[in-house]
Chains A and B, each alone.
Chain A
Amino acid sequence: GENVEQHPSTLSVQEGDSAVIKCTYSDSASNYFPWYKQELGKRPQLIIDIRSNVGEKKDQRIAVTLNKTAKHFSLHITETQPEDSAVYFCAASIWAGTASKLTFGTGTRLQVTL
């Protein structure tokens, strides 16, 4: 089955700096890669996703890149703000237009300091 590894497990950046979180996956059939943000005591929420037919996607200060050959994908947050502090999870799935399970990484705790 699919295995997703995520690094680093913790990340501390100063406000305004950029943060990068990296994930690798094992199943070359995976084609859908979402990122979820989980604030302390809250439920995970989707922040951005990418499908395997594109290499990069951007939404304001957040971007995701995908390298299918290397089976790597990364989350980039620019101009970080204190409200970006949370745990971020990457995930992978085989998406064919219907339900499919997500295999999650172990999470990255991002701390944005003033």
Chain B
Amino acid sequence: GAGVSQSPSNKVTEKGKDVELRCDPISGHTALYWYRQSLGQGLEFLIYFQGNSAPDKSGLPSDRFSAERTGGSVSTLTIQRTQQEDSAVYLCASSARQGARNEQFFGPGTRLTVL
């Protein structure tokens, strides 16, 4: 079946502009995660959604970052007033609600460049 998809694949924006990144999880997966990968760095947790529970926002680096998940499926990560340090690859992942393992399936990412 289809995997996790993200759009756009690349986004170039000017400092101070707002951007929206989209994630379509695997159908039936109730958990959705956002991570950020800076050049040569590991993956930094941002936020995750699990079903109808309140999202875990503990990884959001500032109040310029927000995310929502509509209808328990598609998610949008919004970065307001972008800064150059926001430049990174933003990865979305999804996982099934229950199971013996917490396997997270990643999307291809959105490469964000802030000029």
Chain A residues close to B by CB (< 8 Å): 1, 6, 32, 34, 42-46, 49, 51, 89, 91, 93, 95, 97-107
Contact = CB atoms under 8 A, between A and B. Distances in A.
Contacts of A44: 43, 91, 106
B38 to A, nearest CB: 10
B99 to A, nearest CB: 8
Contacts, number: 69
29 contacts: A32-B101, A32-B102, A34-B102, A43-B107, A44-B43, A44-B91, A44-B106, A45-B106, A46-B103, A49-B101, A89-B43, A91-B43, A93-B102, A95-B101, A95-B102, A98-B50, A98-B98, A99-B31, A99-B33, A101-B48, A101-B58, A101-B59, A102-B43, A102-B102, A102-B104, A104-B42, A104-B44, A105-B42, A106-B41
Interface in B49-65: 49-50, 56, 58-59
B95 interface: yes
